Amino acid sequence: MQGKYVSKNIEKKWQEYWNKEALFRVKEDVRFPKFYCLEMFPYPSGRIHMGHVRNYVIGDVIARYKRMNGFNVLHPMGWDAFGLPAENAAIKHGVHPTKWTYENIDYMREQLKKLGLSYDWQREVATCDLGYYKWNQWFFLKMFEKGLAYRNASRVNWCPSCETVLANEQVIDGKCWRCDNVVTQKELEQWFLRITAYAEELLNLCDTLIGWPEKVIAMQKNWIGRSEGVEVNFKVAGIGEKIRIFTTRQDTIYGVTFISIAKSHPLVSELIKDRDIINKIELLSEDPEKKEGVFTGYYAINPLTGDNVPVWISNFVLREYGTGAIMAVPAHDQRDFDFAKKYNLPIKVVIVPENSYKLQVTSYKKTVTSYELRVTSKENSTNSLLKTRYSSLPLDSSLIAEAYEDEGILIDSGQFSGLSSKDARERIADFIEVKGFGKRAINYKVRDWGISRQRYWGTPIPIIYCEKCGVVPVPENMLPVILPKEVTITGKGANPLSTVIDFINTECPKCKKPAKRETDTMDTFVDSSWYFVAYCLKDRNALSVMRNELNENILDSSLITHHSSLSYWMPVDQYIGGIEHAVLHLLYSRFFTKVLRDIGLLNIAEPFQNLLTQGMVIKEGAKMSKSKGNVVDPDYLIEKYGADTVRLFCLFAAPPERDLEWSDQGVEGAYRFLNRLWGLVYKYREALDVKGKGGNTQIDASRLTPYALRLLRKTHQTIKKVTNDVERDYHFNTAIASLMELMNEAIAFDILEPGDERVLNFCIKNIILLLSPFAPHFAEELWANLGGQQSTLNEPWPRWDEEMVKEEEIELVVQINGKLRGKITIPVGLREEAIKEKAFQDLKVSDYIKGKSVKKVIVVKSRLVNIVTG
RNA sequence: GCCGGAGUGGCGGAAUUGGUAGACGCAAGGGACUUAAAAUCCCUCGUCAGCAAUGGCGUGCCGGUUCGAGUCCGGCCUUCGGCACCA
C-alpha cells in the first residue's frame, strides 16, 4: 500500500477494472427487486459542466447504494443529440452536424467515465441514431392513426433568430427559451400532437405523484390549467348567427354589457365587410397591456336578460382559449372594466360583498384593496327581497374605480338575486342547460403540442403529400425516413431539407405517382419524451446504431418484442434532473407514457415514480455561465484532486434539492478528509483485514473495555445514520458528516488491548463500505489493500445492530422553567421517579429552586427534565 | 397580481416526532514541528459582560399557543423561483 493518497494512481485503474469485470452491466434477475435509476440525459454540447456532474453524481450514489442493497439496478446514460447547436456549428465552422455531435458524445462519454459513474454503457442511446429516431416516426404514425397527430394552419410562435416555430411551453416571457430573442407570430401549416386529449388524465394523475416535489406538481397543474364554467350562445340580432362564449363566472351574467371576440374569430371575416372597420382591426395593438377594440356594428342578445349588447373585437381576447369570445362584465372583471372605461361602455354591478348584502348600497368607494360599502340609512329589511332593495339604487358607475372580482351576493340578477356566487353558478348553469342556451364546459390552458420545426438536425416527419391522395403517412414497413446526410446548411431562408431534391421527391405510397415529402423535422422534445423506455431494452449493441447507417438496427424489432423488459423496468423508480424541466419535458414524457400505454407498449400510466429536482451549482452567488466567467472546469478538478474529491464535495456542500455554492476551499476540505482517512488506514495497514479479525465475525461486546465499546457503538450508530440519511430524501451531506465524525473518533483511538484491534478493524471496514457510493475509486483501493476479494459494489450494504446503537448511559438536561440549568448522567431505563430524584439532587439545580415552590416536573424520556416553579 | 420555496455564526450547512440551537466542513486567530515556507498536528471560535466560574441575549420582524418554539398558529418584512390578459 502506498503511503500517500494519489488519485491518479488509482482512479484509472479501477475504472478499467469495472469495465473489464462488466460490473455495471444490468442484470434482469426476477428473484431480486428492480430499481430503475435515471438522470436526465444531456445535450452533447461538447463538454460536461458542473451542473451535469452534480446531477450524475447524485444518481450514481443512489444506483450504487441500491446495488449494495440487493437490487437489480438499471442505470443508463444517453444523449439528447438532435437540436440546433449542431446546426449552428455547421454554419459557423462548416462541420457536419453528424460529425460534430458524435465527436462531442465521444468526448463527453469519456468525461463521465472519468467521474466513475456506474452506467451500463451497453444501453446507451443517442436520439440522432437512426435506430432511435425511427421510433419517433413510428410513434408519430400511431398517433396519426388514432387522430392524436394532426395538421393545422395556425398562428404560431416564431423565433426569427432560430428561424423556427416554438411550442407555447418554449416561449418564456415572450422570448425564445433557447436564444432569448423576442418571439413573433406567424401563420404556418403545422403538425400537432393532441396532448389536450390527455389533459384531464394528466391533471388527475398529478395527485398520484406522491414521490414528486410539490412545487413541480403545482407547476404541472398550473400549466394544464383546468377551468370549469359554461358555454352560452348569444344570438346576433338581426341575422342568424350565434356567438358562443365561455365563462367561469356565469354568476355575473346579468352584468354583461358587451361581448368581446378575438381578432381572428371566424365571425369577423364572415360579418365584417366594411373596409374602415377591417383597417381598424388590423391596427389593433399587439401589446396586450393596452386594451384596444373595434365595435363591429352588431349587437348580441343576452339569453337570460334579453338585453341587446354591442359586439366588440378586442385585442386581448385569445382565439385559442375557450371559444375565442367572451361575455364582458366590466363591474366584475378588471380587463373588461378597463375596456369599458376606455370606450365609455356601461358598467352594471351585479355582485356585492357578502357581509354587506343587508346594507343599502349607495356608492362604491375605492379603498386600498377593495370597495367599501357605505351605509347611509337603515331600514328594517329583514324580509324584503334583495332585488327590490337594490334595483332601485342609482349606482353611479363613475364612482367605481375598479372591478369587484371576488365572490359575493347577487343583486339585480332576476330570479337569482340574493344567491351567493357559488350557489348562483350552479343554479344559472342548470338554467342555461334546461333552457338550451348553452351547456357546462371545461377548458384547459394547455394547448396541443406543435412539433414541426423548420430545421435540419431532427427527426423527419414521416408524411408524404400527394396531389391525388392528399396527406399520406409513410407506411410502417418503409420506416425509417432517413435524414439525408448531403445537405447545405446556411441558417438562412428555407428549411434545409426542402433544398434536398432526392429527399423531397418520392412516390405516393398509395397511388405510386410522384409525390413530395414533408420537410419539417420534429421538436427535439419528442426525442426525450420516451428515451427512458428505450433504455429498458436488452441485447442491444449500442455502437451498431451509433453511426447513422442503415444496417444492423437493433432497436428495430426490440421495442415491440421486448415487452416483458418494458414491464419489468418501468416505471423509473428515481428520476433526477434540473427544475428547469418541471413543465416541458416532464409533461411531454407523462403524455407520451399514456399514449404508449394506449398503444399497448406499456402497462403503466406514469413514467417517473420519484422525482428529485436538484438545485443549481452557483458560484459567487450566480449560476455558472461563460458570460459571467465563473465556471469551474470538471476536467481540471479531476486532474488536480481526482473524481472522488469532486464527487464528495458536490454531495457534502448542500443537500441535493438545494442550490450548491461552489467553494474552492470546500473542495480542499473534501480532499483533506480523504487524505486523513488514507493516512489512518495506512497507519494500521498491517493490523487490518476486512475479511477477518472481526471483519465479518461478531464482536463480543461484553468482553470489551468501555473505551473500545464506545468506538464500536459509534460505528453501529454511524451505519444507522448514513443509511437513514440516504433513505430520507438522499441527504448525503449529513451522511458524509457522520462518516467524518466516525473517522475523527477512529483517528483518536489507540489500540491498547487485544480486542481493540478487532473493533478498529470493524470500524474502518464499515467506513470504507459506507463511503464507497460517494467515493468509489478510493473505497475500492482501500478495500483491496485490506484484503477485500471483490468490488465493494458486490459487498452487501453494512447493517447495524439496534442493541449496539443504544447507549447505556445518557446525559439528561435539567431545565428550570424551560431554561437549561444543569445536566445529569443516568443509566438508560431509569424510572421516572428516580430521574426526578436525581435531578433535584444536582447541586446547581437545588441551588436554583431553593426557596421556590415546585409546581410541576416534566420528564421527557431520554431527553430532559423540566422543573416548573411558582 | 396568483402559485410555490427560502430566511439559523464570518461562510456552506446541521438540529429526523415541539425537548441541550450551531453537528460536520470552510474561513479566521493562537500554538507545535521546520533554517524557512508548504503540508501536517494541537487549541480557540454566535454575541455581550466577566480574570474566571458563570450569567444575559440570540434562528428575518411582531404577537399567540405551550412547562418548553428554529420547529406549531395568526399577522407582516425580505428574497428567490414559476405563471401571468386563460375569461
Task: Give the tens place of pLDDT for each residue, A265-278.
Answer: 999 988 888 888 88
Residue with cell 404508449: A596
Backbone angles phi, psi at A244, to 5 degrees: -100, 120
Amino acid making up residue A1: M
Averaged pLDDT, A99-108: 96
Interior angle at CA A367, CA A365 and CA A368, nearest 5: 155
Distance CA A200, CA A761 (A): 59
Averaged pLDDT, A815-834: 85
Proximity of residue A259 CB to strand B below 7 A: no
**Which percentage of chain A shows pLDDT scores above 70?**
90
Where are the extended beta strands (E) located within A28-99?
34-39, 72-74, 78-79
Proximity of residue A248 CB to strand B below 7 A: yes
Proximity of residue A828 CB to strand B below 7 A: no
Backbone angles phi, psi at A227, to 5 degrees: -130, 130
Distance A45 CA to B58 C1' (A): 49
Is 50 exceeded by the pLDDT of residue A561?
yes
Contact present, A311 and A317 (Cβ < 8 Å): no
Averaged pLDDT, A807-832: 85
CB neighbours (10 Å) of residue A465?
Answer: 17
Round the average pLDDT of chain A to a whole number and report it: 86
Contact present, A130 and A550 (Cβ < 8 Å): yes
Residue with cell 403545422: A190
Question: Which of A334-343, A471-480, A509-518: highest mean pLDDT?
Answer: A509-518
pLDDT of residue A560: 55
CB neighbours (10 Å) of residue A337?
Answer: 24
Task: Tell me the C-alpha to C-alpha distance, in Å, between residue A180 and each of A176, A231, A387, A586, A841.
Answer: 5, 38, 55, 22, 72
Residue of least CA–C1' distance to B39: A672
Distance CA A59, CA A670 (A): 19
Task: Tell me the C-alpha to C-alpha distance, in Å, between residue A301 and each of A307, A311, A770.
Answer: 6, 10, 75
Distance CA A870, CA A866 (A): 13
Please tell me which residue, A122 or A576, carries the higher pLDDT value.
A576
pLDDT band for A433, please (50, 70, 90 cuts): very high
pLDDT of residue A823: 84
Question: Which of A236-250, A823-837, A856-870: highest mean pLDDT?
Answer: A236-250
Distance CA A688, CA A701 (A): 19
Averaged pLDDT, A373-382: 30
Is 70 exceeded by the pLDDT of residue A430?
yes
User: For the segment A183-240, what is each residue's pLDDT rounded down to a tens digit?
Assistant: 887 778 889 999 999 999 999 999 899 899 988 998 999 999 999 999 999 999 988 8
Distance A256 CA to B36 C1' (A): 90
Sign of torsion, CA A183 A186 A188 A192? positive
User: Following DSSP, what letter does each residue of A780-829 receive, concatenated?
Assistant: HHHHHHTT--S-GGGSPPP---HHHHS-SEEEEEEEETTEEEEEEEEETT
Proximity of residue A733 CB to strand B below 7 A: yes
Averaged pLDDT, A97-103: 95
Amino acid making up residue A333: D
pLDDT of residue A374: 31
Proximity of residue A856 CB to strand B below 7 A: yes
Distance CA A324, CA A262 (A): 6
- Residue A707 DSSP class: H
Averaged pLDDT, A737-750: 94
| Beta-bridge partners for A239 | none
Distance CA A64, CA A644 (A): 14
Chain A window 670-689, residues with Cβ within 7 A of nucleic strand B: 670, 672-673, 675-676
Would you call A859 helix, strand, or coil by DSSP? strand
Where are the extended beta strands (E) located within A491-642?
505-507, 514-517, 521-522, 572-578, 608-614, 617-619, 622-623
Is 70 exceeded by the pLDDT of residue A380?
no
Nearest to A232 by CA among A424, A431, A447, A409: A431
Q: Residue A225 contacts by C-beta under 8 Å, 6 or more apart in sequence?
A: A444, A445, A446
Is 60 exceeded by the pLDDT of residue A558?
no
User: For the segment A285-296, what is each residue's pLDDT rounded down to a tens digit?
Assistant: 877 678 889 999
Would you call A624 helix, strand, or coil by DSSP? coil
Proximity of residue A417 CB to strand B below 7 A: no
- Residue A703 DSSP class: G
Is 50 exceeded by the pLDDT of residue A552?
no
Nearest to A791 by CA among A760, A770, A769, A766: A769
Lowest-confidence region among A139-148, A432-441, A452-461, A552-561: A552-561
pLDDT of residue A106: 96
Proximity of residue A219 CB to strand B below 7 A: yes
Kindly report each contact of residues A468-474 with a partner whose C-beta sits within 8 Å and lies 24 or more positions away, as own/partner. Answer: A468/A508, A468/A511, A468/A513, A469/A508, A469/A510, A469/A511, A469/A515, A471/A151, A472/A508, A472/A509, A472/A510, A472/A515, A473/A141, A473/A144, A473/A145, A473/A509, A474/A137, A474/A141, A474/A509
Proximity of residue A425 CB to strand B below 7 A: no
Give strand letter and number of the nucleotide nearest A868 (CA to C1'): B67
Proximity of residue A215 CB to strand B below 7 A: yes
Proximity of residue A794 CB to strand B below 7 A: no
Distance A803 CA to B59 C1' (A): 35
Proximity of residue A655 CB to strand B below 7 A: yes
Contact present, A116 and A647 (Cβ < 8 Å): yes
Distance A216 CA to B3 C1' (A): 11
pLDDT of residue A544: 36
Helical (H) or strand (E) element with A155: strand A149-159
Averaged pLDDT, A486-512: 87
Contact present, A51 and A578 (Cβ < 8 Å): yes
- Residue A616 DSSP class: P
| Beta-bridge partners for A827 | A809
pLDDT of residue A140: 96
| Beta-bridge partners for A854 | A869
Which cell numbers in the block locate residue A23? 460490473
Is 50 exceeded by the pLDDT of residue A846?
yes
Sign of torsion, CA A430 A432 A435 A440? negative
Angle between helices A664-683 and A754-771 (to 10 degrees): 140
Proximity of residue A864 CB to strand B below 7 A: yes
Is 60 exceeded by the pLDDT of residue A382?
no
User: Following DSSP, what letter does each residue of A209-250 receive, concatenated?
Assistant: -TBS-HHHHHHHHHHH-EEEEEEEEEEETTSS-EEEEEES-G
Proximity of residue A284 CB to strand B below 7 A: no
Which cell numbers in the block locate residue A144? 396519426
Would you call A841 helix, strand, or coil by DSSP? helix
Residues recorded for chain A: 870
pLDDT of residue A539: 54
pLDDT of residue A693: 53
pLDDT band for A400, please (50, 70, 90 cuts): low
pLDDT of residue A393: 41
Nearest to A186 by CA among A527, A452, A463: A452
Distance CA A129, CA A555 (A): 10
Proximity of residue A247 CB to strand B below 7 A: yes
Proximity of residue A266 CB to strand B below 7 A: no
How far, rounded to the nearest angstrom, does the alpha carbon of residue A504 sit from its chain's CA centroid?
38
Chain B nucleotides with an atom closer than 7 Å to a protein C-beta: 3-5, 11-16, 19-21, 23-27, 39-42, 55-56, 67-69, 81-87
Cα torsion at A280, A285, A289, A295 (round to 10°)?
10
Contact present, A276 and A222 (Cβ < 8 Å): no
CB neighbours (10 Å) of residue A185?
Answer: 11
Interior angle at CA A447, CA A597 and CA A216, nearest 5: 70
- Residue A709 DSSP class: H
Give strand letter and number of the nucleotide nearest A320 (CA to C1'): B86
Proximity of residue A858 CB to strand B below 7 A: yes
Proximity of residue A137 CB to strand B below 7 A: no
Give strand letter and number of the nucleotide nearest A664 (CA to C1'): B26
How far, rounded to the nearest angstrom, does the alpha carbon of residue A587 sit from its chain's CA centroid?
8
Averaged pLDDT, A728-738: 93
Is 50 exceeded by the pLDDT of residue A323?
yes
pLDDT of residue A623: 80
Residue of least CA–C1' distance to B5: A215
User: For the segment A661-695, what is each residue's pLDDT rounded down to a tens digit?
Assistant: 999 999 999 999 999 999 999 999 988 887 765 55
Distance A647 CA to B28 C1' (A): 27
Is 60 exceeded by the pLDDT of residue A50?
yes
Please tell me which residue, A811 or A467, carries the higher pLDDT value.
A467
Would you call A36 helix, strand, or coil by DSSP? strand
Contact present, A520 and A191 (Cβ < 8 Å): yes
Is 70 exceeded by the pLDDT of residue A375?
no
| Beta-bridge partners for A480 | none
Which cell numbers in the block locate residue A394? 342609482
Interior angle at CA A620, CA A619 and CA A621, nearest 5: 90
Proximity of residue A603 CB to strand B below 7 A: no
Proximity of residue A669 CB to strand B below 7 A: yes
Is 70 exceeded by the pLDDT of residue A570?
yes
pLDDT of residue A271: 86
Distance A866 CA to B9 C1' (A): 28
Burial of A50: CB neighbours in 10 Å, binned 0-12, 13-18, 19+ = buried
